[in-house]
C-alpha cells in the first residue's frame, strides 16, 4: 500500500489571490493552500496547523504570527517587506525570504533602459548614422583600424555617463525598489519620495535615501515616476514641479500618463528647460501622431511595453508556492 502524501498547510494572506490558488492547487498536491478574503479572514484562518505563510501587501504583525505556533516559513511576494514584522520573525527564528515579482522587474528594466538610452542620446545618434548626417560636418568615411577611428563623429552634446548621477524615484513601491537596485549597480545615487518613508533597514537594502518631493526634483539628474495613478497623484508633476528640475535633468515615466501634466512637460521639453524625457505611458494611448511629443528630438517614446511579456497573479503566486514547497519539503 502506497504511503499517503504528507501535506503542508499554507496560508496566502492577500485577498486577491483566491482565483490563482484555485488554478494552482493541482500543481502542488502536497500543499494545502488556504486563501484569505481580508485581514480579518487571515486572522481567522491562522492556526497552529499553518506551517507556511505567503503575503504580498497584507499586514503580517506579531498578533497574526502568534496564532501560528508551528509556522516554519514566511515568503514575501516582492522584495520590499514594508508590511512584515521582521523583528517578530527573527525573535521566533522563522525562515523569511522574498520572491521577486515578474511585473515590477519588467517595468524596472524598461525604466533603466530609458535612462541609459537618454544618457547616450541614442535616438538622435541612430538617426544621424542612418541618414549619414556626418556629411553636414564635412567628414567622410575612412577605413578604421584598432588605432584609427572616427570617435564620437557626430559630437552629440547630450551624451554622458550615469555613474555618479542622482536618480530620484517618485513612488518607492516594488517597481521603485527594483529600479533602485539596478541603478546602484550602474553607480547611480538613489533618492526617493513616498507618502510613508521606508524603514532604515529597507533604505539600506535598496541603497536609497528619502527626500520630500520638491527636494527630490531639485536634486535629481533623472526623475522617474513610478507611483500608482490615483486621485491624489493625478497631475502631481505639473508646471511648478517641472520648474524645480535642473535644466540638465531628464524625466522618465513608466507609471501612468495622467500623473504628469503632459502640456507642461511638452512646453518644458520644447523650450529645453529640462534636457529630455523617456516615456512609456501617455494621457491618451495609443499616443496620437499629432502629439508634439512625436516631433521632439529629446524624447524617447515607447508603446507602453513596461510590462514586458506580461504577468499575472498565477505566475507570481506560482513562483512563491514553488519556493515554499522547496522549503517545507527540505
Task: Enumerate the active-site residues.
Answer: 256, 285, 304
**194 Cβ contact partners less than 8 Å away, ≥ 6 residues apart:** 171, 172, 173, 176, 210
**DSSP per-residue codes, 251-280:** EEE-S-GGGB-HHHHHHHHHTTSS-EEEES
Coil, strand, or helix at residue 12? strand
- Residue ranges in 67-134 assigned as alpha helix (H): 86-92, 102-119, 122-130
Take residue 77 and report the three cell numbers written for it: 511576494
What CA–CA distance (Å, rounded) separates 40 from 96?
23
**DSSP per-residue codes, 141-152:** -----SS---TT
Coil, strand, or helix at residue 327? helix
What CA–CA distance (Å, rounded) separates 300 from 277?
6
Between CA 277 and CA 312, with CA 79 as vertex, the angle to 5 degrees is: 75
Q: How many residues does the chain have?
A: 330
Amino acid at each position: 500500500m502506497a504511503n499517503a502524501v504528507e501535506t503542508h498547510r499554507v496560508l496566502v494572506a492577500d485577498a486577491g489571490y483566491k482565483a490563482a490558488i484555485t488554478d494552482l492547487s493541482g500543481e502542488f498536491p502536497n500543499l494545502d493552500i488556504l486563501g484569505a478574503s481580508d485581514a480579518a479572514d487571515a486572522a481567522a484562518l491562522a492556526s497552529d496547523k499553518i506551517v507556511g505563510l505567503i503575503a504580498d501587501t497584507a499586514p503580517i504583525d506579531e498578533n497574526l504570527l502568534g496564532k501560528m505556533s508551528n509556522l516554519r516559513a514566511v515568503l514575501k511576494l516582492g522584495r520590499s517587506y514594508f508590511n512584515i514584522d521582521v523583528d517578530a520573525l527573527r525573535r521566533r527564528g522563522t525562515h523569511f525570504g522574498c520572491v521577486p515579482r515578474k511585473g515590477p522587474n519588467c517595468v524596472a528594466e524598461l525604466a533603466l533602459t530609458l535612462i541609459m538610452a537618454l544618457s547616450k542620446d541614442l535616438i538622435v545618434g541612430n538617426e544621424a548614422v542612418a541618414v549619414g548626417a556626418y556629411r553636414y560636418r564635412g567628414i567622410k568615411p575612412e577605413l578604421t583600424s584598432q588605432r584609427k577611428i572616427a570617435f564620437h563623429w557626430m559630437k552629440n552634446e547630450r551624451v554622458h555617463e550615469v555613474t555618479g548621477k542622482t536618480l530620484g524615484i517618485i513612488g518607492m513601491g516594488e517597481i521603485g525598489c527594483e529600479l533602485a537596485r539596478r541603478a546602484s549597480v550602474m553607480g547611480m545615487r538613489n533618492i526617493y519620495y513616498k507618502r510613508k518613508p521606508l524603514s532604515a533597514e529597507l533604505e539600506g537594502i535598496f541603497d536609497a535615501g528619502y527626500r520630500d518631493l520638491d527636494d527630490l526634483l531639485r536634486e535629481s539628474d533623472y526623475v522617474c515616476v513610478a507611483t500608482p495613478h490615483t486621485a491624489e497623484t493625478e497631475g502631481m508633476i505639473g508646471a511648478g514641479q517641472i520648474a524645480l528640475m535642473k535644466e540638465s535633468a531628464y524625466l522618465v515615466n513608466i507609471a501612468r500618463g495622467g500623473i504628469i501634466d503632459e502640456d507642461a512637460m511638452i512646453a518644458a521639453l520644447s523650450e529645453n528647460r529640462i534636457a529630455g524625457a523617456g516615456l512609456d505611458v501617455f494621457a491618451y494611448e495609443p499616443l496620437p501622431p499629432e502629439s508634439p511629443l512625436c516631433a521632439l528630438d529629446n524624447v524617447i517614446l515607447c508603446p507602453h511595453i513596461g510590462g514586458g511579456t506580461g504577468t499575472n497573479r498565477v505566475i507570481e503566486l506560482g513562483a512563491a508556492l514553488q519556493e515554499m514547497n522547496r522549503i517545507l519539503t527540505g
